[in-house]
């Protein structure tokens, strides 16, 4: 077996591999069936990037002519020309269609993207797969930030190894890569969002490509072995694209499939005769897609995000095809008229010093624009009437947060009227927290106080498989707290019941399941969620009744399925009617049918009461209401705002009258 030639030469098959990577990402973002794991295309890009850039740097270091300035010049000419038109596009469209809060977030995204730190920003803001991603048209730039942060240090690392590490590049990079991989494997269990966005947990993917580029590994001379490696590599990528999904624990060990698949394809194409896979990847259409892949990656997500944001629904097949077509047209234009002029032999801004100054100036101006947008609070004066209700909502929520009604306590805060012996407990998840303004309002009206116990669905013996926290243990602790307060004769249970019963965050997400229960008492997770929810709910109700408690079950509120603030704002600026997009009573009943059956059975027990918020939150046409007296009733797509909670507060009058009777 011969050594791989370290000479860097053009590999058409690598451009073809880029094509597979970018198409996987685009089709994933367009929700095209069969591409549920298309996000792994980014991992393929990481391997390719590590291979190509290490090939150049290593060759120049060994030849004694490596220049850090020349390296960063190449990066600027490669990255900047295509990036800033995309940022300008998102700024212009965002200024026209975003409300002040979302536009403020966009301003922060513009600054972070310009400074190649958007991965850190989006880590703070939440997961890559969150529903709010449509309000983040620069979300995809996180991967660009990871690469650029990696390349701040990587050339210096190779120089240090060359000078002080006895040129043992392979050993050093292998050790660092293994450490990064282990950090990623551990990180997905400790903090998956951090593991997804951080450079230390992603560096190994680039380093795998770097190890190949060093030319240390022997290249198989047998075409049979080469074909075997290449088909295995392609199979690993296809497997991850087809069978991974948003619920896959990623990156961690699951990232090995696309990373090693990319590695095998690149490896099998080194030296000598090409493989069947490399010939397929080298056909002109694949190569061309690979050549415009950077622009395709940059442009596709803003076009998708803005389209879905404005349409407030899933894209039709025709709309998907139109977005793909427009993305390709823009990307082809970008390559020919924007990118290549900066990279040809006689480029635009030929002098390196002038290029650096120009790049710094553009970064300063663009990041400054983002800062101004943020400091101006998203410029609500752009659409004052459309922003008015949102501003009023936020001001009310801030006022409530300042006067939260929490009188004492940390883990189990006391709410309601000060100086009164607690007489009730509100127990549930974030939907219970959303009810607090109603509970606090009525508690103060009736001169009562109680505890708020929140963080998990209020059931006993059940754990959610797909979440890091132990809900079963947490609820045992919550129940122990309730048991230790016999003076609290009433327990109010509230949660996003339909989500737990179905496993789906919304009716539109079928058949994807994000929330799966496991019964820790029987170690069963094979039964449907609705059955397990019933088991856990009956346990908690019977246990509370056994403590001589009155139990109040609160049916969940209608889930709108859209960010309500965005829904109202977009339709205001478009001048369209949003009511046809709202769920009706039939949708609500279908979504909550399993929960309704459970609650009906539990209501037959003595001292169990059921409250139905839907009796207030639908209009005379049986359509969900999202505003009342010009106030917005939801914080997002499923949590009531302070206004919404106050609207349904009268439903709790009988509860607090009964609390008074039991004292």
Return d(Cα 349, Cα 149) in angstroms, integer: 25
pLDDT at 8: 61
Helix or strand or coil: residue 442?
helix
Contacts of residue 426, defined as CB under 8 A and 6 or more positions apart, other chains included, come to: 415, 432, 435, 436, 439, 450, 451, 452, 453, 454, 492, 494
Token readout for 615 is 């009796």
pLDDT at 272: 67
pLDDT at 389: 80
pLDDT at 131: 58
With 60 as the cut, is the pLDDT of residue 307 above it? Answer: yes
pLDDT at 9: 78
562 close to 581: Cβ distance less than 8 angstroms: yes
With 70 as the cut, is the pLDDT of residue 551 above it? Answer: yes
- Exposed, middle or buried by CB within 10 Å (0-12, 13-18, 19+), for 279? middle
Give me the domains of the chain, ranges plus CATH numbers.
2-379 (no CATH), 404-557+584-616+639-662 (3.40.50.1110)
Inter-helix orientation angle 384-402/564-574, to 10°? 160
With 50 as the cut, is the pLDDT of residue 197 above it? Answer: yes
pLDDT at 379: 93
Q: For residues 407-428, b (16+ Cβ closer than 10 Å) or e, as one string?
A: eeeeebbbbbbeebebbbbbbb
pLDDT at 508: 55
First-to-last alpha carbon distance for the chain, in angstroms, is 87
479 close to 543: Cβ distance less than 8 angstroms: yes
595 close to 603: Cβ distance less than 8 angstroms: no
Give 236-256 pLDDT, tens digit per residue.
Answer: 999 999 999 988 899 999 999
- Exposed, middle or buried by CB within 10 Å (0-12, 13-18, 19+), for 99? buried
Other beta carbons within 10 angstroms of residue 171's beta carbon come to 13
Q: Is 485 left (phi over 0), alpha (psi -120 to 50) or beta?
A: beta
Give 512-537 pLDDT, tens digit per residue.
Answer: 556 778 888 776 667 888 899 999 99
With 50 as the cut, is the pLDDT of residue 511 above it? Answer: no
Q: What is the mean pLDDT of residues 622-644?
A: 91
- Give the helix/strand (H/E) hosting 427: strand 424-428
Q: What is the mean pLDDT of residues 82-90?
A: 97
DSSP-derived pairing of the beta strands 550-554 and 490-494? parallel
With 80 as the cut, is the pLDDT of residue 468 above it? Answer: no
Give 316-345 pLDDT, tens digit per residue.
Answer: 999 999 999 999 999 999 999 999 999 988
With 80 as the cut, is the pLDDT of residue 109 above it? Answer: yes
Contacts of residue 592, defined as CB under 8 A and 6 or more positions apart, other chains included, come to: 497, 498, 501, 555, 556
Q: What is the mean pLDDT of residues 389-411?
A: 63
**Residue 314: which pLDDT band, with cuts at 50, 70 and 90?**
confident
Can you say whether the dihedral through the CA atoms of 127, 130, 133, 135 is positive or negative? negative
Rounded to two decimals, what is the model's pTM? Answer: 0.85
Q: What is the mean pLDDT of residues 156-180?
A: 94
**Residue 3: which pLDDT band, with cuts at 50, 70 and 90?**
very low
pLDDT at 472: 87
């Amino acid at each position: 077996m011969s050594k791989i030639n370290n000479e860097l030469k053009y590999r058409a098959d690598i451009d073809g591999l880029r094509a597979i990577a970018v198409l996987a990402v685009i089709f994933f973002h367009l929700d095209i069936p069969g591409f549920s794991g298309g996000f792994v295309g980014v991992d393929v890009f990481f391997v390719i990037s590590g291979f190509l850039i290490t090939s150049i740097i290593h060759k120049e270091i060994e030849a004694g002519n490596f220049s850090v300035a020349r390296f960063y010049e190449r990066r600027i000419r490669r990255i900047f020309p295509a990036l800033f038109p995309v940022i300008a596009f998102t700024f212009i469209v965002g200024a026209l269609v975003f409300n002040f809060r979302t536009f403020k977030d966009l301003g922060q995204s513009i600054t972070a993207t310009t400074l190649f730190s958007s991965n850190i920003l989006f880590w703070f803001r939440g997961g890559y797969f969150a529903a709010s991603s449509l309000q983040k048209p620069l979300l995809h730039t996180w991967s660009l930030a990871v690469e650029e942060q990696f390349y701040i240090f990587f050339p210096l690392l190779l120089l240090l190894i060359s000078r002080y590490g006895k040129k043992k590049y392979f050993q050093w990079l292998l050790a660092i890569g293994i450490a990064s991989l282990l950090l990623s494997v551990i990180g997905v269990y400790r903090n998956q969002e951090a593991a997804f966005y951080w450079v230390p947990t992603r560096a190994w993917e680039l380093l795998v490509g770097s190890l190949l580029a060093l030319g240390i590994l022997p290249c198989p001379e047998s075409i049979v072995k080469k074909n075997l490696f290449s088909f295995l590599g392609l199979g690993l990528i296809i497997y991850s694209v087809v069978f991974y999904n948003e619920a896959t624990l990623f990156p961690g060990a699951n990232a090995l499939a696309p990373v090693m698949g990319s590695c095998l394809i690149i490896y099998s194409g080194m030296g000598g005769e090409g493989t069947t896979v490399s010939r397929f990847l080298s056909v002109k259409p694949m190569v061309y897609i690979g050549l415009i892949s950077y622009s395709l990656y940059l442009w596709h997500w803003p076009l998708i995000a803005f389209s879905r944001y404005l349409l407030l629904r899933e894209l039709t097949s025709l709309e998907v095809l139109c977005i793909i077509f427009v993305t390709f047209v823009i990307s082809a234009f970008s390559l020919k008229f924007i990118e290549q002029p900066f990279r040809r032999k006689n480029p635009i801004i030929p002098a390196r010093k002038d290029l650096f100054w120009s790049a710094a100036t553009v970064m300063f101006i663009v990041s400054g624009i983002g800062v101004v947008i943020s400091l101006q609070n998203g410029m609500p004066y752009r659409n004052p009437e459309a922003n008015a209700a949102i501003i009023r909502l936020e001001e009310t929520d801030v006022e409530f947060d300042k006067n939260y009604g929490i009188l004492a306590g940390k883990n189990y805060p006391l709410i309601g009227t000060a100086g009164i012996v607690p007489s009730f407990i509100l127990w549930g998840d974030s939907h219970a927290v959303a009810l607090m303004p109603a509970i606090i309002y009525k508690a103060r009206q009736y001169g009562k106080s109680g505890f708020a116990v929140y963080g998990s669905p209020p059931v006993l013996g059940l754990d959610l498989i797909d979440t890091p926290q132990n809900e079963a243990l947490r609820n045992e602790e919550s129940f122990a707290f309730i048991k230790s307060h016999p003076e609290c004769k009433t327990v109010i249970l509230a949660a996003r019941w339909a989500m737990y019963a179905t496993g789906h965050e919304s009716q539109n997400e079928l058949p994807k399941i994000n929330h799966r229960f496991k019964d820790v008492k029987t170690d069963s997770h094979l039964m449907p969620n609705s059955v397990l929810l019933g088991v856990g709910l009956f346990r908690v109700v019977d246990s509370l009744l056994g403590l001589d408690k009155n139990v109040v079950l609160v049916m969940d509120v209608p889930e709108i399925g859209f960010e309500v603030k965005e829904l109202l704002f977009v339709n205001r600026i478009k001048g369209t009617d949003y009511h046809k997009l709202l769920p009706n009573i039939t949708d609500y009943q279908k979504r909550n049918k399993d929960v309704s059956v459970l609650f009906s059975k539990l209501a037959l027990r003595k001292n169990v009461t059921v409250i139905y918020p839907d009796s207030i939150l639908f209009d005379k046409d049986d359509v969900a209401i999202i505003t009342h007296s010009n106030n917005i009733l939801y914080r997002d797509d499923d949590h009531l705002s302070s206004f919404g909670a106050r609207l349904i507060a009268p439903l709790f009058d009988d509860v607090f009258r009964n609390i008074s009777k039991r004292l």
